[in-house]
Amino acid sequence: MRRKRPNWTKLVTDSMKLGFDANRVVALRLAKLARGGASAKAESRLMVAEKIKAVMDAQNAAARSLLLGQSHLAPERALSVYKKRVRKNLTRLARRP
């Protein structure tokens, strides 16, 4: 039986897009934090909580793939967790003043 492999082209493309989107989130967050006040304080707390949850969810997605015998899907599934979180933050931060 031939061993399945990850789709490296898709992983690289998705990782690059994630990097660009994450940079936009960082810029928007820095702008919000620079304004200060209660919303900046809430954003900093949310940022830390989201990062902890995202890493745990990504690890769970990868582990689940391994346990189901789908190790070739582990990188894509872990990356998809971050893609969803970054996209959600980008949408939220871009629409708020």
Domain count, the chain: 1
43 within a domain of the structure (yes/no):
yes
Residue-wise pLDDT for 29-45, tens only, equals 999 999 999 999 999 99
In a domain, 4, yes or no: no
For 70-86, write each residue's pLDDT tens digit: 999 999 999 999 999 99
Cα separation values, 29 from 13, 33, 54, Å: 24, 6, 17
Does an H or E element contain 60, and which? helix 38-67
Q: What is the C-alpha radius of gyration for the chain, rounded to an integer number of angstroms?
A: 16
According to the model, what pLDDT value does residue 2 have? 75
Write out the residue range of the structural domain in which residue 30 sits. Answer: 10-92
Tokens representing 5 are: 């492999």
- Are 19 and 12 in contact, with CB atoms under 8 Å apart? no
In this structure, is residue 14 part of a structural domain?
A: yes
78: in domain: yes
Note whether residue 84 is domain-resident.
yes
Residue 97 domain flag: no
Identify the band that residue 22 occupies on the pLDDT scale cut at 50, 70 and 90.
very high
